[in-house]
């Protein structure tokens, strides 16, 4: 065709060529498909999501990064060899899931057993429960609790003081029920003793709550308080200074 020698001498100049911003031509593979080569590919999805369909687009994660492989039935996430690290925010990690509800009350964790019952298996060495200073209260129908007991005794021989004196002071604050037992073990038939039960809120100021009770030779009396205070003791004396008295004083209780 006249005046169009380009077709005869340089037919390659008729091709449409596409260049990037750096004046470099785009690459194609041997079949003429467009290839993309990049050291940093940034993909920003639109509001409604990002759909990428390609039979020749490969995205390779770095060696220490995260590989995401989506199979036909769902999404599989395979962490790198070193494992997947999740760092919670400063205020803690919040997990929300349909069907998983763990709500702890303000003062602790409440565990509600299912209808069939809750089974607790202690370790081989046994289960040790140490109560706090103020004691532990366990209430449950059908649950047997073995309580501890206290049993203390003291012997006072040759008592001739008629003014009297106090025996050992006991802190009964943590004792559920308690009793003093006093036995007159004097050898003389006329050796008598007087005993009182005294209680106190501070171990200094004492109130006679029961007594005085006269105990004859080879006799036993018990002293029980109807008023609760922190401290208790037996106050004892001889009836006659000429007849020495021997007393065995027992303090027995259930913790």
Tell me: the pLDDT tens digits for 32-90? 777 665 544 455 555 555 455 555 555 555 666 655 566 666 666 666 677 666 676 77
On whether residue 109 sits in a domain, the answer given is no
pLDDT, tens digit (0-9, with 9 covering 90-100), for 7-26: 556 666 666 667 666 777 77
Report yes or no on 23 lying in a domain: no
CA dihedral 224, 225, 228, 231 (to 10 degrees): -80
Determine contact, residues 174/155, Cβ cutoff 8 Å.
no
Within a domain: 10: no
Q: For residue 218, tell me if it sits in a domain.
A: yes
Q: Tell me the chain's radius of gyration from C-alpha atoms.
A: 47
Residue 68 CA to residue 59 CA, distance in Å, equals 10
Q: Is residue 92 part of a domain?
A: no
Question: Exposure string (b/e) for 120-138, b if CB count within 10 Å is 16 or more?
Answer: eeeeeeeeeeeeeeeeeee
Q: What percent of the chain clears pLDDT 90, i.e. is strictly above it? A: 37
Residue 161 buriedness (CB in 10 A; 0-12 / 13-18 / 19+): exposed
> 235 lies in a domain?
yes
The 10s digit of each residue's pLDDT in 166-213 is 999 999 998 989 999 999 999 888 899 999 999 999 999 999 999 899
Considering the domain boundaries, does residue 98 fall inside one? no
3-state secondary structure of 7: helix
Range of the domain at 219: 162-254
In a domain, 214, yes or no: yes
103 — pLDDT class (breaks 50, 70, 90)? low
3-state class (DSSP) for residue 199? strand
CA–CA separation, 193 vs 212, rounded Å? 10
Output the domain CATH number for residue 230: 2.60.120.1110
């Amino acid at each position: 065709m006249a005046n169009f020698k380009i077709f005869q001498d340089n037919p390659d100049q008729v091709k449409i060529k596409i260049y990037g911003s750096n004046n470099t031509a785009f690459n194609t593979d041997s079949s003429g498909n467009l290839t993309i080569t990049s050291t940093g590919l940034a993909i920003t999805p639109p509001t409604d999501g990002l759909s990428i369909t390609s039979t020749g687009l490969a995205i390779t994660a770095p060696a220490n990064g995260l590989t995401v492989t989506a199979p036909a039935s769902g999404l599989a996430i395979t962490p790198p060899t070193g494992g997947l690290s999740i760092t919670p925010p400063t205020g803690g990690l919040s997990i929300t899931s349909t069907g998983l509800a763990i709500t702890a009350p303000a003062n602790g964790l409440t565990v509600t057993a299912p209808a069939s019952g809750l089974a607790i298996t202690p370790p081989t060495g046994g289960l040790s429960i140490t109560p706090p200073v103020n004691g532990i209260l366990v209430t449950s129908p059908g649950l047997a609790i073995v309580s501890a007991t206290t049993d203390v005794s003291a012997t006072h021989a040759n008592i001739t003081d008629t003014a009297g004196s106090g025996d050992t002071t006991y802190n009964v604050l943590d004792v559920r029920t308690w009793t003093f037992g006093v036995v007159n073990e004097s050898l003389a038939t006329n050796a008598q003793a007087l005993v009182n039960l005294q209680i106190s809120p501070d171990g200094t100021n004492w109130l006679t709550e029961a007594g005085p009770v006269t105990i004859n030779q080879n006799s036993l009396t018990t002293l029980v308080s109807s008023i609760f205070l922190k401290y208790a003791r037996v106050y004892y004396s001889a009836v006659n200074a000429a007849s020495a008295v021997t007393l065995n004083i027992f303090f027995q209780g259930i913790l």
